[in-house]
């Protein structure tokens, strides 16, 4: 007979095994500051899923994506508001959003995109102290029964596989 822990009676507890997350849980990344600040050491870019770190802008893969190819594009300057960027920084940021869409079209052939910027906690900014764009490729049917009924998102390709596919397109820019 199955014993239900106290407090869980009558609930439909869902278990989703994700052993790949253990590496993240045990890592020291949480103590290394802002995930969007690229720092000077390019030796850890693969580990941090950084595709591009330029003078003004950084592009990295979202470690907890909505879809395969979900990218984050942020200014290198640590700011929380668009008006804190000068014109050159703003132009470079939007240019890398555009470049990211072009790369994703070439590599992943999406049918559309969600591109968004959440400013402030009430707008949904998870890291409100460092603004960033989300670039999310979309395909017809990418929200399926697992998401709708099971409240579970299925990501069919491992992050590191997608990273290896995208990286050459950003290296060309350097």
Catalytic residues: 132
DSSP-derived 3-state class of residue 113:
strand
d(CA 34, CA 127): 9
Residues contacting residue 163 through CB under 8 Å, at least 6 positions apart: 46, 49, 51, 61
The DSSP symbol for 170 reads H
- The Cβ of residue 84 has, within 10 Å, a number of other Cβ atoms equal to 13
d(CA 29, CA 158): 20
d(CA 168, CA 103): 10
Distances (CA, A) of 40 to 45, 53, 76, 88: 10, 9, 11, 21
């Amino acid at each position: 007979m199955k014993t239900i822990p106290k407090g869980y009676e009558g609930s439909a507890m869902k278990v989703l095994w994700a052993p790949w997350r253990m590496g993240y849980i045990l890592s020291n990344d949480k103590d290394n500051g802002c995930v969007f600040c690229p720092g000077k050491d390019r030796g850890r870019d693969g580990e941090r899923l950084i595709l591009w770190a330029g003078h003004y802008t950084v592009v990295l893969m979202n470690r907890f994506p909505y879809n395969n190819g979900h990218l984050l594009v942020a200014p290198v300057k640590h700011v929380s508001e668009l008006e804190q960027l000068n014109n050159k920084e703003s132009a470079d940021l939007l240019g890398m959003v555009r470049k990211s869409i072009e790369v994703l079209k070439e590599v992943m052939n999406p049918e559309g995109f969600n591109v968004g910027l959440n400013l402030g906690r009430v707008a949904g900014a998870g890291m409100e102290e460092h603004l960033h764009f989300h670039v999310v490729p979309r395909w017809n049917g990418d929200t399926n029964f697992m998401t709708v009924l099971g409240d579970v998102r299925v990501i069919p390709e491992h992050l590191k596989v997608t990273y290896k596919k995208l990286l050459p397109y950003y290296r060309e820019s350097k």
